[in-house]
A = this chain, B = another copy of it.
Amino acid sequence: MKTIIVGGVAGGMSAATRLRRLDETADIIVFERGHYVSFANCGLPYYVGGVITDRSSLLLQTPESLGARFRLDVRVDHEVTAIDREAKTVSVRQTQTGALTTESYDRLILAAGATARTGITPAGLATRTLRTVDDVDHITALLAGVTGRASAVVIGAGFIGLEAVENLVHRGVHVTLVEFGSQVFGPFDAEMAAPIFDELLVRGVDVRLNTTVAAVAADGGVELSDGSVVPADLVIDSVGVLPDTSLAARAGITIGASGGIAVDGSQQTNDPSIYAVGDGVEKIDAIDGSGLLITMAGLANRHGRATADSIAGEPGSASPALGTAILGLFGLTAAMVGWSEKRLVRAGRAHRVVHTHPASHATYYPGAEGMSMKLLIDPATDAILGAQIVGGSGVDKRIDILATAMTGGLTASSLTRLELAYAPQYSAAKDPINQLGYVAENLAAGTTRAVQWHELAAARAAGAVLVDVRSAGEFAAGNIPGAINVPLDELRDRLAELPDAPLIVHCQVGQRGHTAARILSQNGLDVRNLDGGYRTWTAGVTSLGLMPTAITMNSDRIPA
């Protein structure tokens, strides 16, 4: 059996090494059009920033090491240019010499990945994407050649763009971040991205939302769509990526509606001899079974292995994708799994929302850091549809717990049952995940009724009165205009002061508001709790551009 693999990074190389472990006798050839195989894509921005100092550490394997250990025939600088499905051959071009060869296959694995989707990148400037070792070598060489403080424009405030920003700032570069959309970090809902936006401002990044790059200015700077001109020694184009499907498409391989190569649960394409994995392939969404694009190294590795299992005749199918993802930015961590609220809204899918603001561990133990969590729930089934978390330490742990809970089919309410490891330096006796579950359970049981930050204005316009149950000191330090302040501990004695109207109560993060709502509803009043409290509301209105002052996550203290 002879298998040819097109692309030698995450998905392709996982398939190759697993296939060898399953079959000592297989012929395995890996063609990689670039000069490097099995390199650490996800580490590239950190080499630009000088966080990773040893370039060779990014090159996890070489053709020689893979040959010695796995008897793989790895040919770098070789581009597969065509597939003859009838003859079961591929045409291959040596990229340096241009030499053309033909190679036959029994099985073909397409793992060419994705290519950068370039935005409007003005000619005449050193514009690079940040996808390959070559990109990184060029960027570092260019920055090293700048006299004085370098300036860069980064286009696109997604994962790669924000990682580029962090690392450029870390190198002392002045950065202008240009984002077409109305918020940074588009995968997040706007109110959850507010701390990221604020962190960028704190770090001196010039963030331009609702903006694109128009042209190179006369003086060599970059002209933006708002007419302003910003200096730039370098433009990094991180608008996004597109699956590299041209080879497959030319050979008549079916491309899915999402734009990625369509595969079945065994990673098989419409040609039973041809498989595909990685960023070039359409994934199956775990929430609704639709086809979608997710470009994650973890999925590429997992599906690569599953492909090898399929070819070797082992049972093994690639499961649907949750889209778990994480971003580190200046000590802040932002992570997500499943669907966002805006995606649920776009899809017209019913959902329930929970916002909380817990501490990473028991607040009486030093070093606790705050985080903001958002959970999205199917109100009919109590299934978890998605989650977003942003904060300091412990964010990665909580998103992984939620991803595992989703894979295990746990409902939102059953998060209360999770028995998570507790000592005060690691968690709280009720872990933030348990707390999410308690709020979800109260909503599901009708013990609490909630109103979301973006529903507040309409509810008040319809006659609802807002009652802030925080202390007088907290109220004085900042409040929602027009709210009445009745501290929680005085509420039972001051019921007579409350107006005869639907009430919305709120506190700082939602917990005291819940207790207040319980008191009032048991006294026969019509009451809802502002989900996530003042903190979520503040983040929400900031994200809409309605607040002059952004909240600062890092300087925000743990809630009392």
User: Which residues of A come within 8 Å of B, CB atoms?
Assistant: 10, 21-25, 40, 42-43, 46, 51-52, 54, 57-58, 60, 68-71, 163, 296-302, 305, 314, 319, 321-328, 333, 335, 337, 362-366, 396-397, 399-401, 403-405, 407-410, 414, 416-427, 429-431, 434, 438, 445, 447, 488-489, 492, 514-515, 518-519, 522-523
Q: Given A365-B43, A396-B427 in contact, is the A420-B71 Cβ separation under 8 Å?
A: no
| Inter-chain contact A362/B42, CB cutoff 8 Å | yes
State whether A429 touches B69 (Cβ < 8 A).
Answer: no
Interchain CA distance A398-B110 in the complex, whole Å: 33
Q: Which of B298, B418, B423, B434 contacts A420 (CB 8 A)?
A: B298
Q: Would you give the shortest CB distance from A60 to chain B, in whole angstroms? A: 7
Pair B396/A366 contact, Cβ less than 8 Å: no
Q: List 18 A-B pairs, Cβ < 8 Å.
A: A21-B514, A21-B515, A24-B519, A25-B522, A40-B424, A42-B423, A43-B362, A57-B363, A68-B489, A69-B488, A69-B515, A298-B429, A324-B420, A397-B400, A400-B431, A403-B421, A407-B408, A408-B410
Measured between alpha carbons, how far is A333 from B418 in the docked complex, in Å? 20
Q: How far is it, in angstroms, between the C-alpha of A476 and the C-alpha of B486 when the chains are bound?
A: 74
Q: How far is the CA of A518 from the CA of B23 in the complex (A)?
A: 9
Nearest B residue to A286, CB-CB: B419
**Cβ of A24: which chain B residues have Cβ within 8 Å of it?**
518-519, 522-523
Q: Report whether B401 and A419 are in contact in the complex, using a CB–CB cutoff of 8 Å.
A: no
Q: Across the interface, do A425 and B328 meet the contact criterion of CB distance under 8 Å?
A: yes
Question: A364 to B60, Cβ gap below 8 A?
Answer: yes
B21/A518 in contact, CB under 8 A: yes
A46 and B425 CA atoms in complex are apart in Å by 10
The listed residue (B297, B399, B404) touching A429 by CB distance below 8 A is B297
What separation, in Å, do the CA atoms of A419 and B402 have in the docked complex? 10
A362 proximity list for chain B (CB < 8 A) = 40, 42-43
Determine the chain B residues whose CB is within 8 A of the CB of A43 once the complex forms. 362, 364-365, 424
Known: A24-B522, A518-B24. A417 touches B364 (CB 8 A): no
B421 adjacent to A365 (CB under 8 Å): no
Whether A518 and B22, one on each chain, are in contact in the complex, defined by CB atoms closer than 8 angstroms, is: yes
Q: Assuming A407-B410, A418-B403, A424-B43, is B302 touching A434 (CB within 8 A)?
A: yes
Residues of B within 8 A of A40 (CB): 362, 364, 424
Contact partner, A52, options B69, B302, B366, B445, Cβ 8 Å? B366
A323 to B419, CA, bound (A): 8
B52 to A364, Cβ gap below 8 A?
Answer: yes
Q: Please, which residues of chain B bring their CB within 8 A of the CB of A57? A: 363-364
* Cβ-defined contact, A430 with B328, below 8 A: no
Checking B21, B400, B419, B426 against A321 with a beta-carbon cut-off of 8 angstroms, the contacting residue is: B419
| A325 with B429: CB separation less than 8 A | no
10 residue pairs, one from A and one from B, having the closest CB atoms: A408-B408, A326-B421, A397-B397, A24-B522, A297-B429, A57-B364, A68-B489, A404-B404, A396-B426, A324-B419
Closest to A39 in B: B364
Q: Are B417 and A302 in contact (CB under 8 A)?
A: yes
> 10 additional contacts, CB 8 Å, given A325-B421, A400-B420, A403-B420?
A42-B423, A43-B365, A69-B488, A299-B419, A302-B416, A305-B438, A321-B419, A328-B425, A404-B418, A405-B407
| Residues from chain B with Cβ under 8 Å of A409 in the complex | 408-409
CB distance from A376 to the nearest CB of B (A): 17
Whether the pair A326, B423 counts as a contact (CB closer than 8 A) is yes
- Of A299, A333, A397, most buried by chain B (CB within 10 Å of CB) is A397
Query: For residue A298, which residues in chain B have a CB less than 8 angstroms away from its CB?
Result: 419-420, 422, 429-431, 434
Instruction: Select A404's contact among B58, B296, B337, B410, beta carbons within 8 Å.
Output: B410
Closest B residue by C-beta to A404: B404
Chain B residue nearest to A423 in the complex (CB): B326
For A335, the chain B residues whose CB sits under 8 A away are 421
A104 vs B409: C-alpha distance in the bound complex, in angstroms? Answer: 45
Which B residues are in CB contact (< 8 Å) with A492? 71
- Among residues of B, the one whose C-beta sits closest to the C-beta of A42 is B424
Residue numbers in B under 8 Å from A323 (CB-CB): 419
**Complex CA distance for A297 and B431, rounded to whole angstroms:** 11
Q: Are A51 and B366 in contact (CB under 8 A)?
A: yes
In Å, the complex CA distance between A40 and B362 comes to 9
Query: Cβ of A419 and Cβ of B396 under 8 Å apart?
Result: no
Give the distance to chain B from A408, nearest Cβ to Cβ, in Å. Answer: 2
Q: Which chain B residues lie closer than 8 Å to A522 at the CB level?
A: 23-25
Q: A40-B424, A396-B421, A407-B419 are in contact. Are A301 and B364 (CB under 8 A)?
A: no
Which residues of B are found within 8 Å of A52, using beta-carbon distances?
A: 364-366
